Amino acid sequence: MSPLPEAELVRSSVQLYRYLLRCCRRLPPGPVREHYRHAIRQSFKVHADEDDPVRIQQIIKRAIEDADWVMNK
């Protein structure tokens, strides 16, 4: 099960970014939420120059799996 029902609709990096920020809104307010928001932003900065479509899809799949793990812990 995905953290939010829209996970299967994520196809682009912008959609992923919005999806992950929506997941963060479901976390309790405070340092944990801010940590994950910061981590999402930093990850997008690191991968901003990625242009291989296969690699981008791998990153999207992994990010959704990681979000699922965070939301379930």
pLDDT digit string (tens) for 41-52? 999 999 989 999
pLDDT digit string (tens) for 16-37? 999 999 999 999 999 999 999 9
Q: Where are the domains of the chain?
A: 7-72
State the pLDDT at residue 7: 75
**8 Å CB contact between 25 and 37:** no
Residues 6 or more apart whose Cβ sits within 8 Å of residue 1: 68
What is 34-45 written as a DSSP string?
A: HHHHHHHHHHHH
- pLDDT at position 55 over 90: yes
C-alpha to C-alpha distances, 54 to 11, 50, 57, 58, 60, nearest whole angstrom: 12, 10, 5, 6, 10
pTM to 2 decimals? 0.83
